[in-house]
Amino acid sequence: MWNEAVQTLPHAELERLQLERLQRLVATLHARVPFYRDRMDALGVAPSDIHTLADLARLPFTSKADMREGYPFGLFAVDPSEIVEVHMSSGTTGKPVVDGYTRADLEVWGDVMARTLDMGGVGRDDVVQNAYGYGLFTGGFGVHHGARAIGATVIPISSGNTVRQLQTMVDFGTTALTCTPSYAMFMAEHARDMGVDVRSLKLRAGFFGAEPWSEAMRADLEAKLGIKAFDIYGLTELIGPGVGAECEQQDGLHIFEDVFYPEIVDPVTGEPLPPGTQGELVLTAIGREGSPVLRYRTHDITYLMGEPCPCGRSSRRIHRLMGRNDDMLIIRGVNVFPQQVEEVLLRVQGVEPHYRLIVERDGSMDTLTVEVEMSEATFSDEIRVLVHFERQLESDLKAALGIQAACVLVNPRTIERSEGKAKRVIDRRELSNAR
Ligand code: DLL
């Protein structure tokens, strides 16, 4: 096991380490970052008030808006000369969030990503085809630092150029693939077109994340690619990938909690919630130097799993992410996550895992339409059969979501494919309100 000493620390020792790191972090942020000092002062809490891990709840939260306000270096906790690498979110919905890494942070990143890859059995002899985007996005470099720490051969192919991806997979004997689950699905489809049977290649593991995906999508990817598919999690604000990952049990994601301290809070009140109760994941970067964030509100919905994992790692696990509470659709008062729809569609024969959700407003009524691609075989069926199929899917969706949704089968290959994060929801309600 990679870094076994840390990963199997008895719980009491892990907590001692966490408290020590938390106290140091809070003291550093108070001393060096005016933003955090002002927040702590406003709440009347000082570094000397942090005696136990439970005292974390007394500290202020940090939001994406706070991080944007600090753009570019306002929340850095070290002198700019200490920063050796930066990454940044895409900033499509506002100012980007910048993450600054010191040399020690890059060591930490390499270590947590090495743990991630090692959990899926990657070692020195492996060939890692890294199809996450390289550049400001954290996916490419995060995997790269981890693969290098392990000593595997890393192919820094980045995302896109799917024909070359598959050719490389064949020629280089790729054993592990890293990319978003939607891009992996696109590669599987392309391979079929090119007459490449990926199952007969050397590929045996996939490390998929950066977007929500369902258990049904995992089963589909594992069958089509002949691999074990591992869920990996992270976000720019904390480090990028390397916050948590699945071990060989594939049952929840271990949070690397000597570096990232997890809490689950009620999304409305911010109150901490006990294990087993679903809420918003909040993370504190207790093991970072450059831009360590305090109690970051991720908006990601999950719960802490109670039982220790049979794999022997002592870190706590979170259930695979249900989605983001800001991506959750509220349709006629019912909460709907896109993955719930994905689960239903992928369990049905005759449709492909390419779909989108369209939400509209008809008068005061919200409507949900689910478009899903037919398989080539379904496409050749009679209209009568297709209509029957749509009604069947609608009844399955009703049973799973609790609301009526219209299902429309669309022709094969008409829904846009993604090389990075897929965009599956089109919400036209705000547009129609403006009219
Ligand atoms: O997506 C970092 C990353 C790269 C993770 C490669 C895994 C692999 P951001 O672009 O800042 O960073 O997006 C972070 O993506 O808050 C989640 O909502 C979502 N996300 C990331 N991993 C998963 C996952 C990277 N495994 C945001 N399941 C997060 C569900 C995920 N959602």
Dihedral angle sign, alpha carbons of residues 204, 143, 282, 287: positive
Q: According to the model, what pLDDT value does residue 433 have?
A: 52
The secondary structure of the chain in percent helix, strand, coil, rounded to multiples of 5, reads 35, 25, 40
Confidence at residue 435, expressed as pLDDT on a 0 to 100 scale: 43
- The CATH T-level fold of domain 329-434 is GMP Synthetase; Chain A, domain 3 (3.30.300)
% of the chain residues with pLDDT over 70: 99
Q: Is 176 left (phi over 0), alpha (psi -120 to 50) or beta?
A: beta
Candidate of 145, 211, 255, 282 to mutate for ligand 1, largest count of ligand atoms within 8 Å of Cβ = 211
- Concatenate the DSSP letters of all residues of 23-75 into one string: HHHHHHHHHH-HHHHHHHHHHT--GGG--SGGGGGGSPPB-HHHHHHTTTTTT
Output the pLDDT for position 90: 83
pLDDT digits (tens, 9 = 90+) for 331-373: 999 999 999 999 999 999 999 999 999 999 988 899 999 999 9
3-state secondary structure of 265: strand
Q: How far apart are CA 284 and CA 403, in angstroms?
A: 37
Q: Which CATH superfamily is domain 1-325 in?
A: ANL, N-terminal domain (3.40.50.12780)
From atom 21 of ligand 1, which residue's Cα is the shortest distance away? 210
Q: What is the pLDDT of residues 109-162, one digit of tens each?
A: 999 999 999 999 999 999 999 999 999 999 999 999 999 999 999 999 999 999
- Half-sphere exposure of residue 24: CA atoms within 13 angstroms, side-chain side: 13
Q: Dig out the tokens for 47 from the structure.
A: 């570094």
The pLDDT of residue 431:
63
Ligand 1, atom 14: closest residue by C-alpha: 235
Task: Provide the whole-model pTM.
Answer: 0.96
Domain definitions of the chain by residue range: 1-325, 329-434
Residue 167 DSSP SS3: helix
Please give all residues whose beta carbon lies within 6 A of any atom in ligand 1, as ranges. 89, 132, 138-139, 209-212, 231-236, 240-241, 298, 300, 321, 324
Atom of ligand 1 nearest to the CA of 299: 16
Map residue 294 onto helix, strand or coil: coil
Distance in angstroms (rounded) separating the CA atoms of residues 18 and 12: 10
pLDDT digit string, tens, across residues 155-185: 999 999 999 999 999 999 999 999 999 999 9
Mean pLDDT of 286-311: 97
Let me know: does 86 contact 101? Beta carbons within 8 Å.
yes
Mean pLDDT of the chain: 96
- Rounded to whole angstroms, the Cα distance separating 248 from 93 reads 36
Q: Is the pLDDT of residue 36 over 90?
A: yes
pLDDT score, position 411: 96
Rounded CA-CA distance 80/382 in Å is 66
